[in-house]
Structure 1
Amino acid sequence: MELSEEWKSFFPTGASTVSPLLLSRSHSLPLGPLLFNPNPNSLSVLFSSPSLVPCLHLPPHLFPSRFLLTSHPHSILPSTASSVASLFSFPNQNDAASLFLRNRLHLLYYPNRPNAVVFFPTGANDDKLGFFILAVKDSRLDILLDSNGDVFRASTGSAHRILNISVNPVADSGLFNESHVIGYLLASALYSVHWFAVKHNSVLDRPSVFYLGGKTFKTCPVVHACWSPHILEESLVLLENGQLFLFDLESHDTTGAAFKGTRLKVPWNDLGFSVNNTVWLSCEFSWHPRVFVVARSDAVFLVDFRLKECSVSCLMKIETLRMYAPGGNERFLALSRVGPDDFYFAVASTSLLLLCDMRKPLVPVLQWMHGIEGPCFMSVLSLSNLRSHSRDDAFKLASESGFCIVLGSFWNCEFNIFCYGSILPFRKGSVTSKINPNICAWELPFEIKLSGHECHCGSCLLRKEFSKDALPEWVDWQLKKEIVLGFGVLSNDLAALLCEPDENGGFTLIRLMSSGRFELQRYHASWTQARNMKDFHDQVFCLDRHLLYPESDEKYKFRKYFHYLKLDFLYEYAGGDLSRFLVKKLEKNCMDAQDEEPFCDEVHELLCEKLNACGFGQSRSYPAVTSVFNDVKLPASLHEVALRRLWVDLPMELLQLAFLSYAECHKVVGDLDQNKIALEFLAVPDLPQLPPFFLRKSSPHGNEDIVGPVIPFPVLLVLNEFHNGYSNLEGDAFSVEAELGLKYKEVMQVAGEIAVSAYGPAHLDDHAVSLAEDGEETWVGSSKPKSFLLYHPIAFNSSATDLVREKSVYSNTIYDTFISHVPEKKSNEKTESVGQEIFDDLCPVELRFAAPVNKLEPQGLKACNLLKRQMLKWQNNFDSYKEFCIQSRFEKST
């Protein structure tokens, strides 16, 4: 099919078997080898120090979904969170990965000398600028460090972590100029940018770094900062809110350390783009000193300041990629200037890498499917830098006209090289056009292993994946493995002094490892990619320690204790044999029983007082089930009400076993174990309510507090039957679940008489009765109208119709049927509320406060009324809430 050049560019390389803009294995076009393999024999460690290990205090890899209580379909206690857990899972969301978006190593070359300065962040919080010097003497590489044998350091005057470094070399105009400046450097932190000058110190005969000043942005973080390729002293800064600032070192006042940049007023709001869920990414200078390219997660813009008024146009939209990136999460991630001239730029999205020409907006010159997870690093090199110092010049023309884009992720340890260039230089007498150079991809993208000392045969890759799977899911394997934090390619002149020529050329790489090592290794161009590296094949991939966490040489100096929990009661209960197991235990204990000191009488008296407040005296008979509903003030499931019914049926002797004073807990534990295991139980509240006391406070406790239950309720229930002389416990005739089912049936029958249903009759289960809809029915033996409401919480796509049709959110409806007490209607008299009753007319639920009643002062009352009006406004606009209030016969105040 004959297609125009513009249509060819819309077919990404790698998306189909044949790409119209792909040159591959063509004998008529001598591209040469475009794969690069590390030479294991060239690996050498330049410098290593534990102080160079980045100090990263990172939390475990815990997503919000791990903290949501989810449930199995047959779980006893289902949870609404099981339906929303997937909404909170973001596989790419990781705080640790955000620290590895950029290259941590940068090279600055001396003019007219075989020297290079290596820059990187260092210090306790990566807040210092570290550097050392590489010098070639007699074909050997020397490392110049300070007098203590450590790296040199320059301070930014701030304790904030350096996130990005950018160097700007001075043009090769001779070393000894007036200022002896060999380059400039900027280091950006989260909210600040700092500028440095690198000068040659003629006395020490080495470079020195001088701090020029900085700029702090107090209200907005820094996204990116870069140097101008046109004017040496100018730099551009992009903030998180899209603001652009231009800084000029020449206009800086040397008497002060604070820089004053020029804010560039860009009319972003006039473009008509939605800013929801968009993130600003990067900025670059274009072909003119006042023309910039700015990237956002949804678009790339051209910002032109050549005229008095700023002109903004869109160069690329994320919507143009929908054909080959249909996912809804597609967004731009990285931006970079590329060759063959300053009109070109490259932008990477979640799935694609695009080569673009700003003279042809919205139409990419070339596209690739990159297949990299979260690529946020991009660097562009000339192919001649990667195939230098070769013995054969057969591919010299291709090397001089080709370019390579290195795209990858330091965090995921993935890097691919994308080669491209024009086909015109290979044709005799052809002249390359700047407007339409007919750029094509040279071969398919290929992976490059920056670590350089890993075998990639099938056996080693399999062992690597098994090692990852052996880690807990909340631990990132990258934090347990030695990874590359930064790299740089030595210049051709410097590399040629260190090694012999390669057959097809190659490059020399210097890298910074997460173990604090600086390594040097030679890569050579090859026709095939090496998979089996014999020198590293036998090295086992072990994830044995946190390389990116601070390590301490101090040994643990405290004695270690191990306590084992006996879960025999839980095991028998899960197997349905709790009754039989407890009977055997009780019979044995009765035979060995001795007179023991009874428990504290004060606990007995306090429990009696709490039960008396709920209408149950010490010498009580079994209470009527309607009395249990008096304790239902806050919404409770009918299962909870049935559980309370069983609790209050227990005699006081068993309740005294279940609830102890906090001091008694320590005494009991001390009798069992001299080392005293720390136990935590919830305190019984002062607010009157029935066991098991739901509204309680946690630690800290006082010794006088009553805590519990310290014995599980199923055990207490079996003990009660044993205490009553039930003879067939060992024969499994007694069942905790069956007893709970009987009480639930009793609760349901009473609920149908004393409560009104918010959604009409509902069939809950086989033994449940229909709930009366008539709100004028009364309590049994009483003329009082119904003051309880039965309802089902509506979650997600569930509706009242679904509930009637037995389409509840959960399969077991005893947990999703709730009952709540509806407060009595307030009189219409205008009375000024000064206490907690001010909130009574805001909610159909009777509020209970576990706090002392305080009188509201006039100023506090005014603030409460203001918040109350705002709450009422929200309620009046919430249709579901209004419908609920109508069905529950609750009248809101206005």
Structure 2
Amino acid sequence: MDFNQEWKSKFPINAVFKPPLLVSDPSSSKSQLGPLIFNPKPDSLTELLSSPSLVSPPVLPPLPRLSLARFLCTTSSVPPSTSSKIEALFGPEQTDPASVFAHNRLQFLCCPDTGEVIVFFPTGANSDQVGFLILSVEDGKLRVKIGEDGDVFRSKKRFCHSIVRIVVNPIPDSGNCVASNVGYLLAYTMYSVHWFVVRSGRNSGVPVLAFLGSKVFKTCSIVHACWCPELPELSVVLLESGNLFWFDLKGVLLEVGLEHNLKGTWLRVPWSHIGGSESAEWLGCEFSWHPKILIVARSDVVFLVDFRSEQCIVRCVANIGMSGSYASTEKDQFLAFSRAGSDGFHFALASNKLLLLCDTRKPLNPVLQWSHGLDRPCYIDVFKLSKLRSNSKQDTYEHSSKLGFSILLGSLWNCEWSLFCYGPPLPDARGLFPSKVSGICDSFYAWGLPSEFSLSGRECGSGSCLLKEEFLKKSLPQWVDWQRKRELVLGFGILGSHLFLPTSDDDEFGSFTLIRLMSSGKLEYQRYSTSWDFARSCKNDVKLAFVDNGMRSVVEEGYKFPKRFKYLELDYLYSFLKGNLASVLEGKIERTSSCPKEKESFDPACHIALCKMRKASGSQLGSPSTLAFDDIRSPTTIGEIISRKKCAGLSTELLLLAFSGYSEFLEVLLDQKKVSLDFLVVSDTVQLQPFVLREPSFRSNKWSNKVHRSDALVGPVLPVPLLSTLHRVRDGSSEASVVGLSSEAELSLQFSEVMQVATKMAMSDSGPEVRDEHAVSLADDREETWTASQREKPFFLYHIGSFKPYAHPVCSHMVSKVVDSKAVSSKSTDASGLEIFDNICPFEMTFNSGQQDFGSKELAIYNILKGQYIKRQESFDPYQDFLGRCKLQKSRSSV
């Protein structure tokens, strides 16, 4: 069933299963769209300039994270009643510190005549001046030009307040005069706006920033200001009250150098006739497709304001409730707003949960929606995909790069960024882009799932780095935000084809250069290359440390309390991860062989329990077990089968080291106290480990007359990889080839062994498989499975699709026992025991409880629930697709 475009856009990407507007099939997207992931190249990180002028002293005031009353109680001897009174004197709590990082502190302006790029930023003791420097390429390297005094260039005009944001607007045709205008610049503070014209100084080689005028708003603060793309001299300012002011610079351009007090034109908008939440705040404004049509965004609604006629026309084009059940209208709000594309019709919105692409011609109907998963994003920008894929060595994806767009969403404060790619529909069946149709088509599709974007180029996705970072966060006092102690990105800009840098071999599909300003006062650049996959490897130049980088420390004194550390000896785990566990065990055995031996004593009850368990599982004592799939009682992963196989091949002596009773465990000394360790109780079901369903033992740190030692079998005390390695070492099979294998390589070999057996023992899912380096794909033998072998197989092997990007194949591949259809058919239809559950699921279900019969009431309730369950199965498309791929019986209601 095919739906229209408006209906398809109701399903956000990442929030529903198989969203209709998502292009995610690797077989098609890789051949038509090209790579959509951009990874930073660590070896390309280069510092351009380090200067205190790049970042004014402290960016953030030393605000406590706790409330003022709580902060006074925890850091001083002030009683709670007094601290509450003090807090009341200061009024409401101050704003979120993340609001300081809502705007990009860098703005780029290209000079067409010289091929240089001017970088603007706030500077000065109070960020009250406009500073700039010049970027150029010399001898294939990026160079930065500053003043002869070794400092950045500055505007002569100094403001009375800190600059909130700088906005530039290029002039398409700069002319051929000696000092031609290349663009306009406005810088606004909390209550004033200042306009400049940028001229390229051909004689001196240094651009000139000429002041045009300013406007002070005494009664209301400024929210946003923007330039008109079509008429570069026009700009609009949005105030906190919702008032809009129009400014035209044509008149003052004739008298450059004089300080004009620009009055502007107040655009009267009937906001009072438009309802809304009292707590709603204005976000920003942008020019639409006409210079007298504006898109004005509020935290709950977006308006299209038309001034072409004498009477202003206001229309609602988006609101916070248009996403339906995918966003809570009571708590959700718009956080970021930006114009999208050059046509003036599209704009992007970000709320707490969703990212929306909207069209002014389709009010209250988003064109595309994504579930972004970011924490309070406050910055959004839209790029042409060709800007990120510039300098490509091949033109295979040139057409898709010209048609595609990328939305960058995130927060400079939280350091979390994601990239969302979209574009027109896919090519036709012939594999060619219908150029004319794509150019006028107003429908867009999401090109792949959102991808993470490392703005700082320093993030590492390895477990060690993530764990270390979490420990560093926890080590800070409760009232300190960890972001205050971290080096943050204050501003950034992307150089596409403006400045051409030599490409490397891995820039086959395109690349771009990112210029970033760090909170430590460093200006640096880094290359980003286009790739099909994420780069998750840990690099040596990744440094994790929380220090004061351009931000004032909130902890002035040293730590006064004594520090106590508890160390855990993890030498076996470390050697296992490094792949030399066998050699470490050999060294341990040699050192302990000369020590006097204690009398070995094992609990006879544990020995009997282990023998009974192994006998019931079908394995002989002391001999490796074949892959006994008959022991599978519930859906089992390949990793569990591997662990069970290893455990079955161990001797009873080694198993007694892993499983025992509490009477054999000695108490350990911890903080000058003897503490008994706790382990999980081995289940009564006769099976080898791993035991999926476990219960903790009943115990306490001190055994007493009231709390006796438990006699249950507990464990494992030692993990199976350690026991199997010890088994090889004692048998003398620790050859060089075995010792040199890493844990990952050994696991991959064992995975291949089990998968080869599974090909013969189980039916296979015909869906896509995740390729591992050493994995054996069942797709290679699929023809033999389904054509040559016609007999029904008792097991089924399938892959959990949601685990694809995250889990190892040993965890995402599962084996289940298929219900014997002949046995189910032979059973009586009036069965009243547990066998009534055999015909509602294609997999066999095993119960630990004994056989019992149900009464008439229970059977009546069962029939009602069974009907609802089968109806749910038939209407759930993913389940039916799964059965179709597996070639299983789609309905067992008639069995």
CA contact (8 A) 2:320 2:329 kept: no
The structure having more radius of gyration, on CA atoms, is 1
Instruction: Give the residue type in structure 2 aligned to 1:235.
Output: S
CA contact (8 A) 2:179 2:201 kept: no
Q: 2:4 — aligned with what?
A: 4
Q: Distance in 2 between matches of 1:434 and 1:65?
A: 57
CA contact (8 A) 1:118 1:133 kept: yes
Corresponding residue SS for 1:518: strand
Gaps of 5+ in 2: 563-895
Identity of aligned residues (%): 49
Once the 2 structures are TM-superposed, how far is the Cα of residue 481 of structure 1 from its aligned partner? 0.6
Query: Given the alignment, which residue of 351, 354, 358 partners 2:353?
Result: 351
Q: Distance in 2 between matches of 1:113 and 1:415?
A: 33
CA contact (8 A) 1:112 1:172 kept: no
1:542-553 equivalence runs, <5 A: 542-545=545-548, 547-549=550-552
Corresponding residue SS for 2:27: coil
Q: Distance in 2 between matches of 1:563 and 1:21?
A: 57
2:492 maps to 1:509: no
Q: 1:150 — aligned with what?
A: 151
Once the 2 structures are TM-superposed, how far is the Cα of residue 172 of structure 1 from its aligned partner? 4.2
Q: Distance in 2 between matches of 1:126 and 1:357?
A: 37
Once the 2 structures are TM-superposed, how far is the Cα of residue 464 of structure 1 from its aligned partner? 0.6
Q: Distance in 2 between matches of 1:126 and 1:210?
A: 19
Once the 2 structures are TM-superposed, how far is the Cα of residue 438 of structure 1 from its aligned partner? 2.5
Q: Distance in 2 between matches of 1:105 and 1:563?
A: 43
Describe the superposition over 1:84-119 as per-residue Cα deviations: whole angstroms up to 9, x where unpaired. x9xx999x9744222100000111111133211111
CA contact (8 A) 2:110 2:498 kept: no
Q: Distance in 2 between matches of 1:222 and 1:414?
A: 27
Describe the superposition over 1:158-190 as per-residue Cα deviations: whole angstroms up to 9, x where unpaired. 22110111111111455x337511111111100
Q: 1:867 — aligned with what?
A: none
Q: Distance in 1 between matches of 2:9 and 2:527?
A: 35
CA contact (8 A) 1:389 1:501 kept: no
CA contact (8 A) 1:416 1:446 kept: yes
Q: 1:351 to 1:180 in 2, by over 3 A?
A: same
Q: Distance in 1 between matches of 2:285 and 2:402?
A: 28
CA contact (8 A) 2:53 2:151 kept: no
Q: 1:448 — aligned with what?
A: 453
CA contact (8 A) 2:122 2:129 kept: yes
Q: 2:881 — aligned with what?
A: none
Q: 1:259 — aligned with what?
A: 262
Query: Given the alignment, which residue of 386, 389, 412 partners 1:387?
Result: 389
Query: Given the alignment, which residue of 524, 529, 549 partners 1:519?
Result: 524
Corresponding residue SS for 2:483: helix
Which is further off, 435-444 or 448-457? 435-444
Q: 1:286 to 1:250 in 2, by over 3 A?
A: same
Describe the superposition over 1:358-404 as per-residue Cα deviations: whole angstroms up to 9, x where unpaired. 01100000001111111111111100010111222211111111000
Report how many aligned residue pairs link the two structures: 545
Q: Distance in 2 between matches of 1:317 and 1:63?
A: 33
Once the 2 structures are TM-superposed, how far is the Cα of residue 496 of structure 1 from its aligned partner? 3.8
1:460-471 equivalence runs, <5 A: 460-471=465-476
Q: 1:534 to 1:561 in 2, by over 3 A?
A: closer
Query: Given the alignment, which residue of 431, 434, 437 partners 1:432?
Result: 437
CA contact (8 A) 1:70 1:79 kept: no
Describe the superposition over 1:805-844 as per-residue Cα deviations: whole angstroms up to 9, x where unpaired. xxxxxxxxxxxxxxxxxxxxxxxxxxxxxxxxxxxxxxxx
Q: 1:563 to 1:475 in 2, by over 3 A?
A: closer
Q: Distance in 2 between matches of 1:478 and 1:225?
A: 28
Q: Distance in 1 between matches of 2:138 and 2:67?
A: 56
2:69 maps to 1:40: no
1:379-418 equivalence runs, <5 A: 379-418=381-420
TM-score, normalised via structure 2 length: 0.57
Once the 2 structures are TM-superposed, how far is the Cα of residue 434 of structure 1 from its aligned partner? 7.0
Describe the superposition over 1:124-151 as per-residue Cα deviations: whole angstroms up to 9, x where unpaired. 1111111111121222222211111110
Corresponding residue SS for 2:209: strand
CA contact (8 A) 2:108 2:120 kept: yes
Q: 1:4 to 1:81 in 2, by over 3 A?
A: farther
2:499 maps to 1:494: yes
1:105-254 equivalence runs, <5 A: 105-174=106-175, 176-177=176-177, 180-252=180-252, 254=255
Once the 2 structures are TM-superposed, how far is the Cα of residue 458 of structure 1 from its aligned partner? 1.1
CA contact (8 A) 1:354 1:368 kept: yes
Q: 1:308 to 1:457 in 2, by over 3 A?
A: same
Q: Distance in 1 between matches of 2:236 and 2:539?
A: 47
Corresponding residue SS for 2:207: strand
Q: 1:18 — aligned with what?
A: 18
Gaps of 5+ in 1: 72-76, 565-894
Corresponding residue SS for 1:51: coil
CA contact (8 A) 1:224 1:239 kept: yes
Once the 2 structures are TM-superposed, how far is the Cα of residue 295 of structure 1 from its aligned partner? 0.3
Instruction: Give the residue type in structure 2 aligned to 1:60.
Output: L
Describe the superposition over 1:250-295 as per-residue Cα deviations: whole angstroms up to 9, x where unpaired. 1238354211211100011122x13410101100000001000000
Q: Distance in 1 between matches of 2:200 and 2:80?
A: 70
CA contact (8 A) 2:487 2:549 kept: no
Once the 2 structures are TM-superposed, how far is the Cα of residue 202 of structure 1 from its aligned partner? 2.8
Once the 2 structures are TM-superposed, how far is the Cα of residue 79 of structure 1 from its aligned partner? 9.1
1:439-838 equivalence runs, <5 A: 439-496=444-501, 502-537=507-542, 539=543, 541-545=544-548, 547-549=550-552
Q: 2:828 — aligned with what?
A: none
Corresponding residue SS for 2:62: coil
Corresponding residue SS for 2:230: coil
Q: 1:500 to 1:129 in 2, by over 3 A?
A: farther
Q: Distance in 2 between matches of 1:535 and 1:526?
A: 21
Q: Distance in 2 between matches of 1:563 and 1:463?
A: 23
CA contact (8 A) 2:487 2:547 kept: no
Instruction: Give the residue type in structure 2 aligned to 1:455.
Output: C
Q: 1:212 to 1:344 in 2, by over 3 A?
A: same
CA contact (8 A) 1:424 1:432 kept: no
Corresponding residue SS for 1:530: coil
Instruction: Give the residue type in structure 1 aligned to 2:314.
Output: V
Q: Distance in 1 between matches of 2:299 and 2:483?
A: 26
Corresponding residue SS for 1:269: helix
Q: 1:751 — aligned with what?
A: none
Q: 1:6 to 1:434 in 2, by over 3 A?
A: farther
Corresponding residue SS for 1:193: strand
Describe the superposition over 1:54-107 as per-residue Cα deviations: whole angstroms up to 9, x where unpaired. 323513233437539999xxxxx999999xx9xx999x9744222100000111
CA contact (8 A) 2:340 2:348 kept: yes
CA contact (8 A) 1:54 1:514 kept: no
Q: 1:765 — aligned with what?
A: none
Describe the superposition over 1:759-780 as per-residue Cα deviations: whole angstroms up to 9, x where unpaired. xxxxxxxxxxxxxxxxxxxxxx
Describe the superposition over 1:293-321 as per-residue Cα deviations: whole angstroms up to 9, x where unpaired. 00001100000011111000000111223
Q: Distance in 2 between matches of 1:180 and 1:498?
A: 32
CA contact (8 A) 1:117 1:133 kept: yes
Instruction: Give the residue type in structure 1 aligned to 2:406.
Output: C
Corresponding residue SS for 2:484: helix
1:849-888 equivalence runs, <5 A: none
Q: 1:432 to 1:148 in 2, by over 3 A?
A: same
CA contact (8 A) 1:107 1:118 kept: yes
1:278-293 equivalence runs, <5 A: 278-293=280-295
Instruction: Give the residue type in structure 2 aligned to 1:472.
Output: P
